[in-house]
Amino acid sequence: MSDTQDAGRRPAEAVDYDLVVIGAGIAGMNALEVASQYLPRGARVMLVERRARSGGMWCDTYDYVHLHQPHPMFTAGDVEWTLGAPPQHLASKPEILDHFQRCHARVREHFTLDERFGWAYVAHEEVAVGDGWQVEVQVRPLGGDGGATTVRARHCIRAFGFEAPRNPPLELSSTAVASLSPDGGGLLGPAAVNPDKPVWVVGGGKTGMDTAHAVLSAWPGREVNLLVGRGTAFMSRDRSFPTGLRRWWGGKLTLRTFTDLARRFDGDNEQEVFAHFMRRYAVTLDPGFGQYLLGLMSEAENAFIRAGIREYVKDYLVDVVDADGVPMMVLRSGARRPVVPGTVFVNCTGYVLRGPTHYEPYVSPHGTVVTVSPNAGIHILTTFASYFLTHLLYLGKLQAVPLYEVDHHALLAANRTAMPFVCMAQILYNLLLILDAVPMSVMRGCGLDFDRWFPLPRRIAAGLHLDRNKADYRAHCRRTLDRVRARFGIRCGVLEGRREAA
């Protein structure tokens, strides 16, 4: 039974599905892949996705996007890539979407998968059945007149992701300049708008840097400028993923880096920790840049962009106006700068953690629904959150392990400098709890783990170090996170009613 609204007529214990997964992005794929390790072959699973295919935000993100991390570390569970490229290769959008097909095919093989592409989740309700609980999930087709359908399932995993929107072109008053979205075409290729004119990339985060890199690669020598706000620094990819023999002695495992930064951060001293990050780990166009939002970049990309751009400006664009026939940038500082007619502005002001969203805790009161969402995050990356939460769900530990949940939306709004270090304290704290709760096979099977890059002896040494110090680290991170909650007044702690960690 699937398209049914008469849930009331079925026997109380009957379920339509073992599992309903909402969202076919990489978080949803992780949920499905992990569930396939616990549910028998042929188990009935529904996959509900607004878009027409799996891939999530990667379906719509700008064409020249590529992964920050080496491609093997972006996957579902432990699904291997079949690209045949060296591991350090940063996969392009078509390559990423191909890998989604592969992950998708694997779960199709395992489950009886009822795929609802072009459908949306509407609501859910936990229902008491005998001694336990099930969940009724309402879904509906998008477009057409199809009404909502309610299905009963043992569990539902809602992997909504960051709900990254498409970035529209900036609304500019000037009629003499071009305003483009990175997602909308017109920047590269034969249909490029004004390819002989200068470009202003508005935003200095990952999209801004990708855009500057793409334009400079397509037109070496073209005038490209960046408007970077406070300026964004990146974690050095060369340090996190050294290549060749340097894997044995060079660089630093990401867990060790995060531990170093989390230990230094006490909930109040983000400026000091940021300064340490800049000295020790950062790649940046300018040592005076003011934020780090967990992105990765290599020295080579940074050098290429720095050598290619005309200038970067630490300010924010308010508008471009026409003044006596001359287009003029108006900046938040009050400065005004003329640009040549035809200049191309590209909106790279960001996608993630943009707007407020509806809150639901990462696990529902009766444990039937898991929500993977940045405002109820147990890890800033939804991939890891989905991987670990699904394991905990099927191991029956989800309600017992007192994970710290953080509202990452509110955190970013409260303090951008502190944000990455709070995330690191949370990752370390929750990871230590999870390590104690799950079999080692869960850790070994986590293909997302950046530290798989390094040879086994280095990973074992890092694991032993963590184990020796776990009581201290756990206590420190907990104090830090409690301080963050008190200081910023954001959701940051154990879910209400849950057992507190020792």
Ligand X SMILES: Cc1cc2nc3c(=O)[nH]c(=O)nc-3n(C[C@H](O)[C@H](O)[C@H](O)COP(=O)(O)OP(=O)(O)OC[C@H]3O[C@@H](n4cnc5c(N)ncnc54)[C@H](O)[C@@H]3O)c2cc1C
The binding site for ligand X (CB under 6 A) comprises 22-28, 48-51, 56-57, 61, 65, 67-69, 74, 120-121, 159-162, 164, 206-207, 351-352, 381-383
Q: Which two tokens stand for residue 55?
A: 């891939």
Calpha distance 183→64 (Å, rounded)? 9
Nearer to ligand X, 65 or 369 (CB): 65
Q: How far is the CB of 34 from ligand X (least distance, A)?
A: 14
Nearer to ligand X, 183 or 478 (CB): 183
Nearer to ligand X, 93 or 110 (CB): 93
CA distances from 404 to 377, 392, 434, 478, 501 (A): 8, 14, 11, 9, 9
Q: How far is the CB of 116 from ligand X (least distance, A)?
A: 8
Nearer to ligand X, 55 or 361 (CB): 55
Q: How far is the CB of 159 from ligand X (least distance, A)?
A: 5
User: Considering only CA atoms, which of 413, 380, 160, 404 is closest in space to residue 254?
Assistant: 380
Nearer to ligand X, 106 or 465 (CB): 106
Q: How far is the CB of 231 from ligand X (least distance, A)?
A: 18
Q: How far is the CB of 181 from ligand X (least distance, A)?
A: 12
Count CA within 13 A, CB hemisphere, residue 490: 24
Match 């040879």 to its residue by tokens: 455
Q: Do the strands 326-331 and 336-338 form a parallel or antiparallel pair, or are they unpaired?
A: antiparallel
Residue 394 belongs to what H/E stretch? helix 382-394
Nearer to ligand X, 32 or 339 (CB): 32
Residues 6+ apart with CB under 8 A from 84: none
CA distances from 319 to 171, 212, 348, 468 (A): 8, 20, 15, 55
Q: How far is the CB of 16 from ligand X (least distance, A)?
A: 18
Nearer to ligand X, 25 or 447 (CB): 25
Calpha distance 299→282 (Å, rounded)? 10
Q: Which two tokens stand for residue 414?
A: 């409260």
Inter-axis angle of helices 419-437 and 382-394, nearest 10: 20
Q: How far is the CB of 501 from ligand X (least distance, A)?
A: 26
Q: How far is the CB of 182 from ligand X (least distance, A)?
A: 8
- Specify the DSSP class assigned to residue 156: E
Count CA within 13 A, CB hemisphere, residue 89: 13
Nearer to ligand X, 65 or 309 (CB): 65
Measured in whole angstroms, the distance separating CA 121 from the mean position of its chain's CA atoms is 21
- One-letter identity of residue 109: E
Nearer to ligand X, 68 or 99 (CB): 68
Q: How far is the CB of 448 from ligand X (least distance, A)?
A: 8
Q: How far is the CB of 5 from ligand X (least distance, A)?
A: 18
Q: How far is the CB of 66 from ligand X (least distance, A)?
A: 7
Calpha distance 332→354 (Å, rounded)? 20
Q: How far is the CB of 349 from ligand X (least distance, A)?
A: 12
First and final CA of the chain: distance in angstroms?
45
Calpha distance 63→93 (Å, rounded)? 6
Calpha distance 395→38 (Å, rounded)? 9
Q: How far is the CB of 465 from ligand X (least distance, A)?
A: 25
User: Considering only CA atoms, which of 117, 124, 113 is closest in space to residue 149?
Assistant: 124
Nearer to ligand X, 50 or 498 (CB): 50
Calpha distance 32→54 (Å, rounded)? 12
Calpha distance 451→473 (Å, rounded)? 19
The phi-psi region of residue 493 (left if phi > 0; otherwise alpha if psi is between -120 and 50; otherwise beta) is left
Calpha distance 408→405 (Å, rounded)? 9
Concatenated DSSP letters for 17-56?
A: EEEEEE--SHHHHHHHHHHTTTSPTT-EEEEEESSSSS-G
Nearer to ligand X, 133 or 450 (CB): 450
Nearer to ligand X, 33 or 488 (CB): 33
Nearer to ligand X, 50 or 256 (CB): 50
